[in-house]
Amino acid sequence: MAIESSPSPPRQAIEDQIARILASPVFSKSDRMSRFLRFISSKALDGQSDDLKEYAIALEVFDKDDSFDPRIDPVVRSEARRLRAKLAEYYETADGDDKVLIELPKGAYAPIFLERPSNGAASERSRAIHPRYLVIALVASLTIAVVAWWLGRRPSPRPVSRSIAVLPFENLTADPANEYFADGLTEEILNALANAPGLKVVARTSAFEFKGKHEDIRSIGKKLDAGLVLEGSVRKDGDRMRITPQLINVVDGYHVWSAEYDRESKDLFAIQREIATAIVGVLGGQPGHAPPQPLDAETYRLYLEGRYHFNKWNSAGMQKAIPLFEKVVERDPKYAPAYASLSGAYGLLAAFGGDASPAGQSKTKARRAALKAIELDPNSSDAWSSLAPHLAEDFDWPATEGAFRKALELNPNSSDAHAWYSELYLTPMGRLDEALRESQAAQALDPISPYTLAGVGKRYYFLRQYDSAIAWLQKALDLEPRFSIAFGPMVHAYMLKGDRPGARRFLESAKVLWPARGLALLSAELLAAEGNSTEALQLLSDASPQDSAGCQVAGIYVALGKQIEAISWLDRAIESRSACFQVIPVDPLFESLHANAGFAALLRKMKLNH
């Protein structure tokens, strides 16, 4: 029998078949697959099959931008495999009345359209094999043989890395007000992964440095010291959302795992847990502690919006976050994460000086919220981290250490817990080698944060390793030139290593970057060390310092040789619980005071026995 070729169907028949497929249950709930099929079919019908390349499809169908690189991101290839499977599923479940067969050949993105024979014709031709399928069978056999040969000779695959960075999910929603939604989802997935035993998860601060930058995945992995990167997108339309996460190996760009979630917004909490659980499963682990689920979708939306403002890390952000967290706990009094966040927001508002309430009110609210979070969820690392600074201010050192150890036991990936344990407990205890190790652990988890870089620099300063201190503090300032936390230690490191000209040069370079009062106090301290006492005292008088600047003023009096005045100002710093009071016992700037009975009295007030 002669071999027949299949005739090409008319265009209208093809278009009718496409509409039929898209209306089927297989495709109607998958907008992504429907867009893909519609786009490639339209191009093929218009004679533009040659234009169906990965780059064009990625931009037109999958909302990628012009930085898309198919060598790194195989989304088109993986989605083409899904489309072939869905077409096969459609024809397997269809009623048999289809007049046109649409196929997507392997290795190509241009579909082919075949006229589907009637049942009688099909029976007559059942003994014949279409040449197209002979070619496909031959290619498939050769492919299988080549793959089998390659698998037999290739080395064992490299183990999948267990260090991961979660990049900010891209907001594909037209409304920029939904930015908090994408950021909140990212942060919650990051937190869920951070609780999983055995994973190293890069902290939010460093991961969010790459928001909107579309940098090469391999470069990001190197900067964050992460072997895997999770990225994705969020499209929200009313009560519906589509989330497409992808887990990528930064060494070769291979997609270790990807998925697509088309759900209602009320399912957001469950989805983020699903994503984290799926990733941990891919890496061969088990998910960690799961925080309680919020009461309803609107409560969770308010919480995510509050976290969005909280993560601005400034006074204005806290003032916006606090009312949102208050609404959350009013709607759901048992939602522990909201209390932990509320505690952090109140504490940071007080630290940033944005609290207009009576003295201490924000700190009291912060403590109360932390205790409530622990009552509701004793396994909340964030709650224990939020409580520990208040215990340190009470000089309850055993409880402070216990809280930090509990926080780190529950979440070893908490960069904040490592940093605060170093700053607020180990440093005032004089356990400086341990403090350095904890600061280094925080920096490894949050590698491009000026806060963690400066934290390492300050530990070297307390260890009297001034050159190392200057190098690390400079790294922090290279990232953020206005990062004033690094200014004082930098000047002191230069001074104490005997390089006053270096201190002077640094101060001159900082004039346009630092608030006038802080700069004036450091300048007065340097002038006093240089022997210009009259000018130093004049600058000090003009600055009218508050108790919160007690350590800086004490440094000036130390340089002037006035120990009584220096100790008096350190006492004021302790009484006001200023940000510097924990370092008083170990700061080399105050070493000349150690033999003074007044300094010993300060240590007793802090319940320290150095």
pLDDT tens, position by position, 559-607: 999 999 999 999 999 998 888 899 999 999 999 999 999 999 999 999 9
Residues β-bridged to residue 102: 113
Residues β-bridged to residue 163: 200
At 510-534, the pLDDT tens digits run 887 776 777 889 999 999 999 999 9
**What's the confidence (pLDDT) of residue 357?**
54
Residues comprising the chain, all counted: 610
Quick one: which H or E segment has residue 606? Answer: none
Residues 6+ apart with CB under 8 A from 234: 169, 170, 171, 172, 173, 178, 181, 182, 185, 241, 242, 243
Task: Tell me what the mean pLDDT of segment 160-175 comes to.
Answer: 84
Confidence of residue 348 (pLDDT cuts 50, 70, 90): confident
Task: Tell me what the mean pLDDT of segment 222-226 comes to.
Answer: 93
Task: Tell me what the mean pLDDT of segment 120-146 comes to.
Answer: 44
Pairing outcome for strands 170-171 and 200-201: unpaired
**What's the confidence (pLDDT) of residue 147?**
40
At 49-79, the pLDDT tens digits run 878 888 888 888 888 777 676 655 677 877 8
**What's the confidence (pLDDT) of residue 495?**
96
Q: Check pLDDT > 90 for residue 557.
A: yes
Task: Tell me what the mean pLDDT of segment 265-282 comes to.
Answer: 83
**What's the confidence (pLDDT) of residue 158?**
45
CA separation for the pair 337, 382 (Å, rounded):
8
CA separation for the pair 533, 528 (Å, rounded):
5
**What's the confidence (pLDDT) of residue 506?**
94
**What's the confidence (pLDDT) of residue 76?**
83
Task: Tell me what the mean pLDDT of segment 499-503 comes to.
Answer: 95
**Span of 142-151, 376-385, 587-596 with lowest mean pLDDT:** 142-151
Q: How far is CA 598 from the centre of its chain?
A: 46
Confidence of residue 398 (pLDDT cuts 50, 70, 90): very high
At 204-223, the pLDDT tens digits run 999 999 988 878 888 999 99
Q: Check pLDDT > 80 for residue 488.
A: yes
**What's the confidence (pLDDT) of residue 358?**
52
The residue that leads in pLDDT, 412 or 31, is 412
The residue that leads in pLDDT, 400 or 82, is 400
CA separation for the pair 368, 343 (Å, rounded):
8
**Span of 89-93, 201-205, 355-359 with lowest mean pLDDT:** 355-359
Q: What are phi and psi of 240, to 5 degrees?
A: -105, 150
Q: Check pLDDT > 60 for residue 304.
A: yes
**What's the confidence (pLDDT) of residue 376?**
95
What mean pLDDT, rounded, does the chain reach? 85
Are 111 and 40 spatial neighbours (Cβ–Cβ below 8 Å)?
yes
Q: What are phi and psi of 18, to 5 degrees?
A: -60, -45
**What's the confidence (pLDDT) of residue 72?**
59
Q: Check pLDDT > 70 for residue 131.
A: no
